[in-house]
Amino acid sequence: MGLWIALIVCIALSAFFSATETAFSASSRIKLKAMEGDQKPRAQLTLQLLEKYDSLLTSVLVGNNVVNIAGASIATILFTRLLDGAEDRGATIASIVMTVVILFMGEVGPKTLAKQQPERFALAVTPVIRFLMTVLKPVDWLFSLWRRLLSKLIKAEPEEPQIEDELMTMIDEAQTEGDLEEEESELLRSAIEFNDQDASDIMTPRVDVTAVEDTASMEEVAEIFRTTYFSRIPVYHEDLDHIVGTLHEKDFYKMSHEGCREITRIMKEPVFAPATLPISSLLKQFRASKTHQIILLDEFGGTDGIVTLEDVLEELVGEIYDEHDEVHEEIAQQEDGSWTIDGGMQLQEMLEQFEIENPGYDADTVGGWVGEMIQKVPENGDAFQVGGYRFTVAEMDGFRVTKVSGEKIPELAEVPAEEGPEKAPEEKTE
């Protein structure tokens, strides 16, 4: 009877050690750190054990193997007695029975249960495991020497931190499980990727900047404010590379009613920043300068474009439209299944929507990408194939690509850029 009790104890301890291993490996440090109240002291002890995970794992595995071997030995003795001393048959049957019992009762079952609530189980067994680690400290010291030897024999390559990717995965899983709404997950993704972009990625480029010369009359400026609905306009001297001020609509009309006739007396000092500045730093500059518009400079000191506080905020919360803005879709699907793409759209965003890999294109916008792919100044009708899609220049503004048409093609073979541009087939007319 005593051996049967010992066998049951060994199976129970095997289940305990298996569940403990799973619980500590699956426990979230973030959840443990967030625990409060009566659970906080125990959670801190659990975190201390997790900091010594190698020692913890050694103690658990030593305990698990000892009870499994002891259980197998006891089972062999019991089955040999039941079979009237037939040692070979007893050992064979004991091996089969213990394999099945340990597999179900000592491994799969306990690990499945522990994985469902790992933090709760880890908190419960922390005192026992802490005591076990203390008792097995000499054994852990021997295994630590073995681990050092293995690390010298097999040198692992240092892994780059993947915290951002892990956070993205956690957000995707939370959205899939229903813990986060789509809007909430999009906001979190935008916040994580916020510092990955530079000011040049969100600016209004120089060619699209609406500005006035410092010699412009009050009537000319009033007409620009009336037709554009802009609240701030840069003021330049001779050309756009010499921005000398920023004209605010409220100041303009206030001073105009007071009889002022020179815009140079109304404009504010401009704020400048390099176009390569990360948008997180750009936001700090907006707050420090108490302005809503910054002039971006290229590496040669010339004007590269302008950026507003609204542009920065839109990277977090999405497009912000006011009463006068026209809703503009950068990618619009047509009735025939093709897509119309804005030439000023960020290239990486377009490639992600079409699930096309970026091998390292130099261009930042779709229009620049077209020129990079066809290797010449684009013209209407120029086309190329990439990623199973055919892209065609649909609209030009001078030398600038403003619209690109994209369509799925059955052939996945890509046309190398070295073969030159391809004209879209012309329709036959009679």
CATH number at 266 reads 3.10.580.10
14 domain residue, yes or no:
yes
Predicted confidence at residue 411, as pLDDT, reads 56
368, 234: one domain: no
Judged against a pLDDT cut of 80, whether residue 208 lies above it is answered with yes
Residues 196-216: what's their mean pLDDT? 88
250-284 confidence digits (pLDDT tens): 999 999 888 888 999 999 999 999 999 988 889 89
Q: What is the mean pLDDT of residues 11-27?
A: 87
User: Do 302 and 278 share a domain, yes or no?
Assistant: yes
Residues 135 and 22 in one domain: yes
Judge if 207 and 186 occupy the same domain.
no
Tell whether 83 is covered by a domain. Answer: yes
What is the per-residue pLDDT for 322?
62
Q: Is the pLDDT of residue 428 over 90?
A: no
Domain identity same for 380 and 304: no
Q: Are residues 169 and 118 in the same domain?
A: no
Q: Which residue has the higher pLDDT, 150 or 60?
A: 60
84-93, 223-232, 332-341, 348-357: least confidently modelled range: 84-93
> 9 and 118: one domain?
yes
357 and 313, same structural domain? no
pLDDT at 79: 77
Q: Does some domain include residue 323?
A: no
Q: What is the extent of the structural domain holding 395?
A: 331-423
Does 176 fall in a domain?
yes
Supply 156's token pair: 């692992």
Question: Is it the case that residue 424 has pLDDT exceeding 70?
Answer: no
Per the structure block, which two tokens stand in for 81? Answer: 């007695």
Q: What is the mean pLDDT of residues 158-184?
A: 72
325 — pLDDT class (breaks 50, 70, 90): low
* Residue bearing tokens 């600016």: 203
pLDDT level of residue 161 (50, 70, 90 thresholds):
low
Choose the final residue of a domain: 266, 288, 317. Answer: 317
Structural domain contains residue 49 = yes
By CB neighbour count within 10 A (0-12 exposed, 13-18 middle, 19+ buried), where does 416 fall?
exposed
Q: Give residue 43's pLDDT.
A: 85
Residue 28 lies in a domain: yes
Structure confidence at residue 149 (pLDDT) = 79
Sequence-separated (6 or more) residues with CB below 8 Å from residue 72? 94, 95, 98
324: in domain:
no
Domain count, the chain: 4
In a domain, 429, yes or no: no
Answer yes or no: do 242 and 289 share one domain: yes
Last residue of a domain, one of 265, 295, 317: 317
Token pair for residue 104? 């179900």
> Looking at the structure, do residues 20 and 110 belong to the same domain, yes or no?
yes
- The mean predicted confidence, pLDDT, of the chain is 82
CA 186, distance to chain mean position in Å, is 10
DSSP state for residue 107 in the 8-state scheme? I
Q: Are residues 243 and 313 in the same domain?
A: yes
Domain final residue, candidates 259, 286, 317: 317
Rounded Cα–Cα distance for residues 251 and 253 (Å):
6
Q: Supply the pLDDT for residue 13.
A: 87
How large a percentage of the chain has pLDDT more than 90?
Answer: 19
Domain containing residue 405: CATH number? 3.30.465.10
Higher pLDDT, 86 or 34: 34
Question: In 136-270, which ranges are continuous DSSP H helix?
Answer: 137-153, 163-176, 182-192, 199-202, 218-228, 249-257
Same domain, 252 and 270: yes
Q: Which two tokens stand for residue 259?
A: 């009889």
